[in-house]
Amino acid sequence: METKTYHRGNFHKHTFCVFRQVGLFEIAGLTLGYKSKSGSSYYFTNDGVYRLSNHWGRAANCKWRLESNGDTAERTKLGYAAWTWFCRDNDQEKLYFIEWVGGSVQFAHKDQASYNGQFLRTASDTMKRIRQIRNLLENDGWTAYYRQDNPEALKENVVHQMIATDQSLSQIKSAIKNSNRK
């Protein structure tokens, strides 16, 4: 499939993008290009767009995530995305995979450089699976029902299978229980 070229006239229509958080000094001297009804401000350059906003995730018909630089002092954050970082989005195609980075899971798109053959899902299936994984990671009670010495290793095993397969959580847990009986 042909790769679409994104620019200031179409980046906001059914796209996925991971913006990189940057300092406010980066928009010094730039002219405000657009202000949305929800209060987000956009500053355009030839290479990309800066978005100043207090809300990230779903933005209208887009999925835009902010990769934080660790600054949590302000609720409103400035993010930058090059035009080449935008990827097409729709609810029908299997465009998404799950990345596990630093003990947490997140949405990722098959057109990103980090994609290397991971299991793909639709956007809604990916979100459902991420919610299940986050619940598993946050709760330890379920690990007591398994013969294991290391609950964290058990969690990691289940999470890896949930990321890499289409098996249900109950199928994965059942297979682990059965393998422990042998």
Position 95 pLDDT exceeds 70: yes
Q: For strand 87-88 and strand 77-82, is the pairing parallel, antiparallel, or unpaired?
A: unpaired
Domain count, the chain: 2
Position 1 pLDDT exceeds 60: no
**Same structural domain for residues 45 and 116?**
no
Of 32, 65, 88, the domain-final residue: 88
**Same structural domain for residues 152 and 108?**
yes
Look at residue 1 and tell me if it is in a domain: no
Q: Are 15 and 88 in contact (CB under 8 A)?
A: yes
pLDDT at res. 143:
87
The whole domain housing 121 covers: 96-181
**Same structural domain for residues 77 and 100?**
no
Residue with the larger pLDDT of the pair 15 and 139: 15
Look at residue 6 and tell me if it is in a domain: no
Look at residue 174 and tell me if it is in a domain: yes
**Same structural domain for residues 78 and 100?**
no
> Shortest CA distance to 115 belongs to which of 90, 138, 95?
95
pTM: 0.86
Q: Can you tell me the distance from the alpha carbon of 134 to that of 115, in angstroms, rounded to the nearest whole number?
A: 21
Look at residue 134 and tell me if it is in a domain: yes
Look at residue 61 and tell me if it is in a domain: yes
